[in-house]
Amino acid sequence: MEFHHHHHLLLQNLFNLCPLLSSSAALLFFRKRKKKMDCSICSSMPFILRPPRNTICGTCYEGARNVITLMNKLEIDHHCKSTDKATPAPSSSPNSCKQQPLGNLSKWMTSMKEIEEDLNKKISFLSGLIVAFRDQIHTDIQLKPGNDGPSIPAHGALLAARSEIFRNMLDSDGCKAPPSDTITLSELNTEELESLLEFLYSGNLGWDKLEKHVYSLFLAADKYEIPYLQDFCERYMLSSLNASNVLEILEISDVCSNKALKEIALNFIIRNMEDIVFSPKYEVFAPKNPHLGLQITRAFLMDAKTKRINGV
Domain boundaries, the chain: 1-82
Burial code of 210-233, b = ≥16 C-beta within 10 A, e = fewer? beebbbbbbbbbbebebeebbebb
Distance CA(61)–CA(66), nearest Å, equals 9
pTM over 0.85: no
- The larger pLDDT score, comparing residue 53 to residue 210, is at 210
Distance CA(188)–CA(151), nearest Å, equals 12
Residue among 236, 247, 157 nearest 195 (CA):
236
- Measured over the CA atoms of residue 77, residue 78, residue 84 and residue 89, the dihedral's sign is negative
Distance CA(23)–CA(18), nearest Å, equals 8
What is the pLDDT, as a whole number, of residue 205?
92
Percent of the chain surpassing pLDDT 70: 71
pLDDT exceeds cutoff 70 at 285: yes
Q: Among 36-45, 119-128, 187-196, name the most confident range.
A: 187-196
Q: Provide CB contacts within 8 A for 64, sequence distance 6+.
A: 10, 11, 14, 15, 29, 56
Q: What is the pLDDT of residues 211-222, one digit of tens each?
A: 999 999 999 999
Beta bridge partners of 142: 153, 182
Confidence of residue 177 (pLDDT cuts 50, 70, 90): very low
pLDDT exceeds cutoff 70 at 80: no
Distance CA(286)–CA(292), nearest Å, equals 8
Q: Provide CB contacts within 8 A for 247, sequence distance 6+.
A: 269, 276, 281, 282, 285
Q: Evaluate whether 148 touches 109 at the Cβ level (below 8 Å).
A: no
Burial code of 195-207, b = ≥16 C-beta within 10 A, e = fewer? bbbbbbbebebee
What is the pLDDT, as a whole number, of residue 123?
77
Average pLDDT over residues 87-115: 64
Amino acid identity of 152?
A: I
Q: What is the pLDDT of residues 141-175, one digit of tens each?
A: 999 998 888 999 999 999 999 999 999 988 875 54
